[in-house]
Amino acid sequence: MAKDTFFIQSGSLYLIQGDNFKPSSSISFSFEDPISELDTSSGAFASGSVNAGVTQSHITTRFFPEVSASAVIEIDPNDPTSFYMSGSSPSASFYMSSSGRMGFGTTDPLADFDIRTNEFQIQKQGARQGIKVNREGNIESFNAETSAASTGSEFILSYTRGGASQVTSDVLVTLLGVDPNEIIREGGAAAFFSGLPRQDQDKILFALENPEEFGLEPGLISNITAGDVLGSVRWVAKSGSEGSTDLRSVGEAANITAVVNASSRFGTSADLLFKVADRAALEGASSDLSFEEAAPKTALRLDGDFNHQMTGSLVMVGNLTASGNISTSGNIIANQLTVGGGVFTSASLASGGSGGGDNLGDHTATQNLNLNSQNIIGVKHITASGDISSSGFVIGRTGSFTKVIINSDLSGASEPPFLISIPDTNGQNQKLQVNHQGVLRFGALNTLPTAVTGGLVYSSSAFYMGLP
**Residues 47-76: what's their mean pLDDT?**
60
Q: Dihedral (C-alpha) 73, 77, 82, 87: value to the nearest 10 degrees? A: -30
What is the DSSP pairing of strand 444-445 with strand 456-459? parallel
* Same domain flag for 12 and 89: yes
Nearest one of 213, 223, 211, 225 to 170, comparing CA atoms? 211
Answer whether residue 154 is part of any domain: no
DSSP secondary structure, 153-167, as one string: S-------S-SGGG-
Q: Is the pLDDT of residue 196 over 50?
A: yes
Query: What is the reported pLDDT for 423?
Result: 87
Most confident of 62-76, 144-158, 385-399: 144-158
Q: Is the pLDDT of residue 25 over 50?
A: no
> Domain span at residue 179?
164-214
Question: Range with the lowest mean pLDDT among 201-205, 275-279, 379-383?
Answer: 379-383
* Same domain flag for 16 and 74: yes
Answer whether residue 331 is part of any domain: no
Q: Is the pLDDT of residue 23 over 80?
A: no
Query: What is the reported pLDDT for 272?
Result: 94
* Same domain flag for 111 and 30: yes
Q: Is the pLDDT of residue 259 over 50?
A: yes
Distance of CA 61 to the CA centre of its chain: 68
Half-sphere exposure of 310 (CA within 13 A, CB side): 5
Answer whether residue 43 is part of any domain: no
Query: What is the reported pLDDT for 357?
Result: 47
**Residues 442-457: what's their mean pLDDT?**
91
Query: What is the reported pLDDT for 27?
Result: 43
Answer whether residue 442 is part of any domain: yes
* Same domain flag for 203 and 233: no
In angstroms, the CA 247 to CA 238 distance is: 8
Query: What is the reported pLDDT for 385?
Result: 77
Distance of CA 23 to the CA centre of its chain: 67
Q: Are 221 and 209 in contact (CB under 8 A)?
A: yes
* Same domain flag for 18 and 84: yes
Q: Output DSSP code: residue 224.
A: P
Answer whether residue 138 is part of any domain: no
Is the model more confident about 131 or about 359? 131
* Same domain flag for 111 and 168: no
Answer whether residue 158 is part of any domain: no
**Residues 39-60: what's their mean pLDDT?**
52
* Same domain flag for 208 and 233: no
Total Cβ atoms within 10 A of residue 47: 12
Question: Range with the lowest mean pLDDT among 30-34, 72-76, 395-399?
Answer: 30-34
* Same domain flag for 202 and 233: no
Contacts of 300 (CB under 8 A, 6+ apart): 273, 274, 308, 309, 310, 311
Answer whether residue 370 is part of any domain: no
Query: What is the reported pLDDT for 300?
Result: 92
| Domains in the chain, number | 4
Query: What is the reported pLDDT for 356?
Result: 44
What is the DSSP pairing of strand 430-434 with strand 440-442? antiparallel
In angstroms, the CA 146 to CA 153 distance is: 11
* Same domain flag for 109 and 183: no
In angstroms, the CA 451 to CA 465 distance is: 8
* Same domain flag for 256 and 199: no
* Same domain flag for 13 and 111: yes
Query: What is the reported pLDDT for 11?
Result: 64
Please report, in angstroms and rounded to a whole number, the separation of the first and last CA atoms in the chain: 155
Q: Is the pLDDT of residue 246 over 70?
A: no
* Same domain flag for 467 and 396: yes
Q: What is the pLDDT of residues 88-103, one digit of tens each?
A: 777 788 899 988 899 9
Q: Are 402 and 417 in contact (CB under 8 A)?
A: no
Among left, alpha and beta (phi > 0; psi -120 to 50; other), residue 382 is: beta
Q: How confident is the model at residue 377 (pLDDT cuts 50, 70, 90)?
A: confident
Contacts of 222 (CB under 8 A, 6+ apart): 161, 166
What is the DSSP pairing of strand 54-59 with strand 229-236? unpaired
DSSP secondary structure, 227-292, as one string: T-EEEEEEEE----SSS---TTTTTEEEEEEEEEEEEETTEEEEEEEEEE--HHHHHT-SSPPPHH
Answer whether residue 328 is part of any domain: no
Question: What are 104's strand-pairing partners?
Answer: 94, 115
